[in-house]
Amino acid sequence: MGRTPHRAIALQGIWASVLVFTGSYRVLFTRVIYTEWIFSGLMALGLVVLRRRGSGSYWTPWYPFVPVANEVSRQPIESLTRLGLVLAGLPVYFGWVRQSFISDGAVRG
């Protein structure tokens, strides 16, 4: 087995089996989402801490294009629909920025 995480995978399988036998799908789903939010928050906090320390050693080439291309290749219709909804908001955003720019007195006509 060498340098593989075989113990962690086995323990995760046992824990998943325990969870399956102790609750309904709704309970399991709620636990997963709750845990996901906790770890997403911790990840965001860690990113803030790293940036404040000036640690710029984390860099991903082609980000954010690679994750978007991966999602489009996996679920083309759903991801293109979501991407279209995000892009539909761009005119609103640029209108908001322009209006804010004008109302601050930066542009005088």
pTM for this prediction: 0.36
pLDDT, tens digit, 9 for 90 and up, residues 11-66: 989 988 887 888 777 777 787 788 888 888 888 888 888 877 876 666 667 877 88
> What pLDDT score was predicted for residue 37?
86
67-81 mean pLDDT:
88
Distance (Å) of CA 98 to CA 15, 58, 109: 53, 34, 14
pLDDT at 77: 92
Half-sphere exposure of 44 (CA within 13 A, CB side): 6
Reply yes or no on whether the pLDDT at 80 is more than 60: yes
Provide the residue ranges of all domains of the chain, joining segments of one domain with +: 1-59, 60-109
CA distance 99 to 17: 56
Q: Fill in the DSSP letter of residue 75.
A: S
Confidence of residue 10 (pLDDT cuts 50, 70, 90): very high
